[in-house]
Amino acid sequence: MLEHDRLKYLLEAILLAADKPMTEEQLLAVFSEEEKPPLGVLRQALQDLQTDLTERGVELIQVASGYRFQIKQEWAPWVSRLWEEKAPRYSRALLETLALIAYRQPITRGEIEDIRGVTVSTSIIKTLQEDREWIRVVGHREVPGRPALYATTKAMLDYFGLKSLQELPSLPEILNLDAVETAGLEEVENRVQVSARTAQLLSVDEVEEVEEVEEVEEYSDSEEEMIEEEINAET
């Protein structure tokens, strides 16, 4: 087995070379049986690597799909100038739709429309589901028409730097943000482009509409249990 510092440097090299987050199991798979470290030793090396980067321009974080290196938030405005093509900008309607799905999943398109008071366009659902792969269909509500139930994906958690849905801030915390009163849509979009926390999705006007979400229609106990298991498996 490699000594601690060499193990730490090797993990750094592997994660820098990887083109996507890597789980602990994937990291261990890189080693031969003779040199494979115990899981506890691997985790300690990863924690020490995170500590080493405290005063650096990059950080090692754990998201839903595993560990990855990323640029620290404070340096994003400068780093983003490396790319001539601007990142896509998202409308208030799209951000509100994503926020509602994140906080009230599983939820139907009709329930989102009831909360927001306006129609959710097909293009918004397409962007979230097909283009960004931030949401997915996890079932159907047993009512006439059997509307699809939407939930978020690991890709959404990865984009916003979240390890699990439990890291989403509480709604009271969101509703008390000073940014709700002052931040404009452009600022919110800028935060999204640099993988800001999901909390900032709700830094838009009329955020109080989220409080009405408790009025959504109930679904059966068996369906709720099935959906809960699927979401837990995904996250």
> Is there a single domain that holds both residue 36 and residue 109?
no
* 71 occurs within a structural domain: yes
> Is there a single domain that holds both residue 32 and residue 103?
no
Q: Tell me, what's the pLDDT at 230? A: 56
Tell me which H or E stretch contains 151: strand 148-152
> Is there a single domain that holds both residue 204 and residue 116?
yes
> Is there a single domain that holds both residue 76 and residue 96?
no
> Is there a single domain that holds both residue 32 and residue 96?
no
* 86 occurs within a structural domain: no
Q: Tell me, what's the pLDDT at 166? A: 86
- Cα separation of 104 and 213, whole Å? 7
Query: Which of 18, 48, 81 corresponds to the end of one domain?
Result: 81
| Helix, strand or coil, per DSSP, at residue 61 | strand
> Is there a single domain that holds both residue 11 and residue 77?
yes
Q: Tell me, what's the pLDDT at 56? A: 93
What would the pLDDT profile of 60-74 be if each residue is shown by its tens digit?
999 999 999 999 988
Query: Which of 81, 106, 141 corresponds to the end of one domain?
Result: 81
Q: Tell me, what's the pLDDT at 226? A: 56
> Is there a single domain that holds both residue 200 and residue 129?
yes
* Start-to-end Cα distance in the chain: 32
> Is there a single domain that holds both residue 211 and residue 174?
yes
> Is there a single domain that holds both residue 37 and residue 101?
no
> Is there a single domain that holds both residue 72 and residue 112?
no
- Cα separation of 89 and 186, whole Å? 9
> Is there a single domain that holds both residue 192 and residue 129?
yes
Contact present, 77 and 57 (Cβ < 8 Å)? no
Q: Tell me, what's the pLDDT at 81? A: 82
Contact present, 19 and 65 (Cβ < 8 Å)? no
Q: Tell me, what's the pLDDT at 182? A: 37
* 87 occurs within a structural domain: no
> Is there a single domain that holds both residue 132 and residue 206?
yes
Contact present, 151 and 135 (Cβ < 8 Å)? yes
Low-confidence ranges of the chain (pLDDT < 50): 174-221
Q: Tell me, what's the pLDDT at 91? A: 84
Query: Which of 52, 81, 110 corresponds to the end of one domain?
Result: 81
**Residue 67: which CATH number?**
1.10.10.10
Identify the domain containing residue 164 by its residue range: 92-234
Q: Tell me, what's the pLDDT at 208? A: 33
Number of domains in the chain: 2
What would the pLDDT profile of 130-150 be if each residue is shown by its tens digit?
999 999 999 999 999 999 999
Q: Tell me, what's the pLDDT at 58? A: 92
Contact present, 70 and 196 (Cβ < 8 Å)? no
